[in-house]
Amino acid sequence: MKNVVIIGNGVAGITCARELRKRDSSASITVISRESQYHYSRPALMYLYMGHMQWSDVMPYPADFWAKNRIELVHDTVVSCDTEIQTVTLASGATKTYTHLVLATGSSVNKFGWPGQDAKNVQGLYTLQDIESMETSTAECDRAVIVGGGLIGIEMCEMLLSRGIEVTFLVREAEYWNNVLPKEEAQLVSRHIGKHGVDLRLQTELAEIRTDTNNVAVGVRTKDGEKISCSFVGLTAGVHPNTDLAEQSNIDCGRGVLVNQYLQTNIPNVYAVGDCAEILLPGQTRGVVEQLWYTGKNQGIVAAQNICDANQLYERGIWYNSAKFMELDYHTYGQVPATSTDSTSLFWQCRNTEKCLRIAFDDQRRVTGFNSLGIRLRHKVCEQWIADGASLRLVVQQLSSALFDPEFSTDVVPDIVLSYNARATDPIPVPKRKNSFWSKLIPVK
């Protein structure tokens, strides 16, 4: 009988446990995690601080789910694992043997050796404990500085704004998230951040965090020498895989815990999934680390399949992701390089509202990817177009089937067709704007 121990109750570990239970009703399944007794949604952390939700709301499964599915939960830290005798040791001193071990230990916040980075009221945002400490360290705060212009940085801005705290946001790039987003999108988001009253400092890097005699943060100094005073510093310059446990246990690690495409480590009955795993393709020395919710989910499924001898390769499939930049919805599918230009993509931006769409294509004008801001796109449709290598013309012509905005939203298709026609030799007839009340009420297909 299988006796599977999973370390980490994040989305990767929990999805693995659920998939195992689906496939094997007799296996013993134990999930050990140090952060919380129950699995919760990490991307929902911000809403706890902002008062949109309570702790009980961010747990995707009810408390009786685990007993019903015979998944044993242990709220403890694994301090070591011995892969010879197939045993893990917990901080409490208890031990647990296994036939299969899954490492789903997630990541930790990056700190780049900045002076003062460990001072009081300086922190990143990753765990539940981070939210609790943020609650206390911002209780009296009226000015904060956030360092690092990624997805978590903007979330932290939004959180602080919700408490009426003034925020200065230091971003290394020329525009917010410009290393991922093409210029126009990045500018749109940067403007949106400004509109919310954030003091956005582009091309600005942190030199040090200034502290008082009690080692409490009192401000920062940028590399340009500017001093900004504040009583809270958020460090959001990315995360790195948690590998310490694996490293101590003769499991090979690179940036993350190294696994093959079956998500197996160098020890055959030990798997790694989610944020902590670095997936090596045959013949490569540097693998990919995927730090996303959905990749963690899919990896958890594949590891469970392989524990059940399914011999399943992990393949990411067509890339997708979504986020929300304050009030701006963001969807992306396929490949849209940050270097996209007019000759490799069709870009449309609404004149009076914050909406834009980019459709990237290859040299044969086959669509390779989508970026949308302020517009929601249908996953299945976009994915199909990319998989089929649909032509740009076809995609623009049928664009309305890919829109996922709430009913009665402004119809953006005619404007997008116009901007296609402006640069195309094969113009498309411009559809009538479906904006009337009745046409929205009774969609004619």
Partner 1 sequence: MPLQQSTSSFYASVFMQKNATGVALFVFGLVMFCAGSVGVFVDSPILFSLLSIGVATVGGLLVATSAFGGLAGVKNDGTMFASSKNRGAVGWLMGIVLTLFYVLLYWFPDTLQYMVQAADPVSYTLRGMPADRWFFYGLLYTIAILVMGLRFIGRNRHNRYQIIRTLSVMAFQTVFAFAIPAVLEALQKPYFDFKNVWPLDYDFFYSWHLNKLTSESTPFFAGLTLGEFMLYWGIAMIVIGIPVLTYFFGKRWYCSWVCGCGGLAETVGDPYRHLSDKSMTSWKIERWMIYSVLVLVTVMTVLVILEYVNPAEYSFAFSRSLRTFYGFAIGAAFSGVIGVGFYPIMGSRVWCRFGCPMAAILGLFQRKASRFRITVNGDQCMSCGNCSTYCEMGIDVRAYAQKGEDFTRASCVGCGICSSVCPRGVLKLENDSVATAPHNKTDR
Q: Contact positions toward ligand FAD, by CB under 6 A?
A: 7-13, 32-35, 42-43, 45, 77-78, 104-107, 125-126, 152, 155, 242, 245, 274-275, 291-294, 296, 323
Residue type, 83: T
Pick what 128 binds: ligand FAD, partner 1, none; C-beta below 5 to 8 Å, kind-dependent.
Answer: none
Q: Which is nearer to partner 1, 262 or 294 (CB)?
A: 294
Q: Which is nearer to ligand FAD, 244 or 362 (CB)?
A: 244
Give me the least distance between CB of 92 and ligand FAD, in Å please: 11
Q: Which is nearer to ligand FAD, 10 or 148 (CB)?
A: 10
Residues interacting with partner 1, by CB under 8 A? 11, 41, 43-44, 47, 50-54, 57-60, 62, 162, 164, 166, 194-200, 293-294, 297, 320, 322-324, 326-327, 329, 331, 376-381, 383-384, 401, 404-410, 437, 441-443, 445
Q: Which is nearer to partner 1, 114 or 314 (CB)?
A: 314
Pick what 47 binds: partner 1, ligand FAD, none; C-beta below 5 to 8 Å, kind-dependent.
Answer: partner 1
Q: Which is nearer to ligand FAD, 219 or 256 (CB)?
A: 256
Q: Which is nearer to ligand FAD, 106 or 369 (CB)?
A: 106
Pick what 194 binds: ligand FAD, partner 1, none; C-beta below 5 to 8 Å, kind-dependent.
Answer: partner 1
CB under 8 Å to 227, separation ≥6 — which residues?
210, 219, 220, 221
Give me the least distance between CB of 405 and partner 1, in Å please: 8
CA-angle at 300, arms to 299 and 303, nearest 5°: 85
Give me the least distance between CB of 268 and partner 1, in Å please: 30
Give me the least distance between CB of 200 and ligand FAD, in Å please: 20
Give me the least distance between CB of 18 and partner 1, in Å please: 11
Give me the least distance between CB of 300 and ligand FAD, in Å please: 7
Pick what 35 binds: partner 1, ligand FAD, none; C-beta below 5 to 8 Å, kind-dependent.
Answer: ligand FAD
Give me the least distance between CB of 331 and partner 1, in Å please: 6
